[in-house]
Amino acid sequence: MDCESTDPINVFYVSTEDESEDTALPRFLRFGGDEERYFDNDEKENHFEMTEECLEEVYEACHPGLIIIDPYQSFLPDGVHLGNLGEMRKVIAMMMRFAARREVTILLIGHLNKNEGSKDIHRGYGSGDIAAAMRNIIKIEVDKKNPTKRTLRVIKSNLDGACFEPVGIRQDEENKIYLCDPRDKDSENQIDLAVQIIQSKMKNGRALADEVDALMGEAGIQSRTVGRAQTRVSVRRKTIGGVKYIVKKEPGTGK
d(CA 50, CA 60): 16
- Reported as a single tens digit per residue, the pLDDT across 91-114 is 888 998 999 999 999 988 887 766
Residue 123's domain comprises 11-134
CA 151 to chain centre: 10
- 200 in the same domain as 125: no
Distance CA 204, CA 111 (A): 51
**Residue 36, domain CATH:** 3.40.50.300
Range from 130-134, 222-226, 244-248 carrying the lowest mean pLDDT? 130-134
Q: Could you give the CA distance from residue 68 to residue 52 in angstroms, rounded to a whole number?
A: 15
CATH of the domain at 201: 1.10.10
Work out how many domains the chain is built from and give that number: 2
**Residue 52 covered by a domain:** yes
Please determine, for residue 233, whether its predicted confidence score (pLDDT) is greater than 50: yes
Residue 71's pLDDT is: 87
Kindly state the helix (H) or strand (E) to which residue 91 belongs, with its residue range.
helix 85-102
Taking the CA atoms of 43, 84, 139 and 118 in sequence, report the sign of the dihedral they define: positive
Q: Which of 3-7, 46-50, 79-83 has the lowest mean pLDDT?
A: 3-7
Q: What is the rounded distance in angstroms from the CA atom of residue 218 to the CA atom of residue 212?
A: 10
For the CA atoms of 93, 95, 96, 97, the dihedral, rounded to the nearest 10 degrees, stands at 90
Q: What is the pLDDT of residues 106-162, one digit of tens each?
A: 988 887 766 666 666 666 655 555 676 676 787 777 777 777 777 777 777 766 555
